[in-house]
Structure 1
Amino acid sequence: MTTPPLSPRWPARLLDVLRRLNRLVAIAIGAVLLACAALVLADVALRQVGASFGGTDEISGYVMALATSWGMGYALMELGHVRIDLIRGRLREGGRALFDLFALLVLAGTVSLIAVQGWPVLARSLANSSRANTVLETPLAWVQAPWLAGWVWFALVAWATFAAALALVWNRDFAAADAAIGTRGEEDLAQ
């Protein structure tokens, strides 16, 4: 008796929606990074005439933390995460798919752990009304909340991608699974 295949359409639809959403996130993060770069450039120019906004180093650090947490989902969908594929490359497509699923499972679990452990940090900052020990005295929750939301988003994207990839592998659609969660070789990056 053979196992009935799952609906072949929903994994592709889910992956397409995730790609589109993460591209929008990447565009928004890119705009924030450009605004931050303009702020730093303006501050450097002001320093030439003896003035300064002050705190641009702190603000740029916050922006980098936010860009990192929110950009990870985009990197996942674009196969931008680094993976050592020494063994994977020597296997047939079914074996490669299992390695890819295992790698994504470990990634999703790790990111979920980061997101879960990030909540107590934010909760403590909220409870204590914690502020940065800097000139700006930024309320830490203002930065930690969107930072944590980025990690939660990454975890959701990772688990949804895992579910879609698992369905693709279950249906033996190894080419689609490889396109969704495989690795990019040097030849792919050159194109």
Structure 2
Amino acid sequence: MIDILAVGLRRVNAAVALVVGSVLLATAGFVLVDIALRQVGHTLGGSDEISGYVMAGIASWGLPFALTELAHVRIDLIRQKLQSRGRAFMDLFAMTISAGAVCVIAYQAWPVLEKSLARGSRANTPLETPLWIPQIIWFSGWVWFAITFCLLVLLAIAALASRDFARVDALIGARREAEDAQ
């Protein structure tokens, strides 16, 4: 059951990463076209504003993929010296603390969106973008990141309860340099 849920979570985040990557490529293309047009005296306009919104959205939606792929940076000097049980507990501790921080960020992101919705806030730019549009993408990414984190912590706790330290490592452990070289 743990493996089924973990694989499902990885698949969902991989699909999201493909969408996020496609949006990033499209935005880069838009910016390049705008830059080229500026050389001949024309512009599409708003490429700087739109690319800023896209960066916020892809960051919040890309983080869960990095999490499920064990791609976040870690300083694991002590972790490497421990046996599998010690590594599992250290990983669970680190993930629990990080999940808590991400949940706080997601919780605190809501008032930003709420104020924009209540006030009908618009960007102070020529596009006058209603701010709730980029903010809802940004906010929902943080919420999904928090959900992903919490699910991984729960799956790791279940694996740890069954003393399956290898599964804990596969779920929340650190990617090894040897694996990255392959």
Q: TM-score range by the shorter chain?
A: over 0.9
1:109 matches 2:100: yes
- TM-score w.r.t. the length of structure 1 is 0.93
Deviations 1:72-102 (A, max 9, x none): 1100000011111111111110000001001
Task: Map Cα deviations across residues 148-169 of structure 1 (whole Å, 9 max, x no partner).
Answer: 0000000001000111111111
Aligned to 1:147: 138
Which structure 1 residue ranges, 5 or more long, are not aligned? 1-9
Letter in 1 for 2:43: S
- Which of 145, 150, 163 aligns to 1:172? It is 163
| Greater RCO (CA < 8 Å, at least 6 residues apart) | 1
- Cα RMSD between the aligned structures? 0.8
Matched residues, number? 182
- For 2:123, what is the secondary structure of its paired residue? coil
- The separation in 2 between residues aligned to 1:102 and 1:58, in whole angstroms, is 39
Pairs within 5 Å for 1:23-172:
23-172=14-163
Matched position secondary structure for 1:58? helix
Q: Distance in 2 between matches of 1:61 and 1:184?
A: 31
Relative to the length of structure 2, the TM-score reads 0.98
In 1, the alpha carbon distance for the partners of 2:161 and 2:77 equals 24
Structure 1 runs of 4+ aligned residues shifted over 6 Å read: none
Identical-pair percentage: 55
CA shift, 1:171, in A, is 0.9
Partner AA of 2:167 in structure 1: A
Correspondence 1:19 to 2:10: yes
Name 2:179's counterpart in structure 1: 188
5+ residue gaps, structure 2, are none
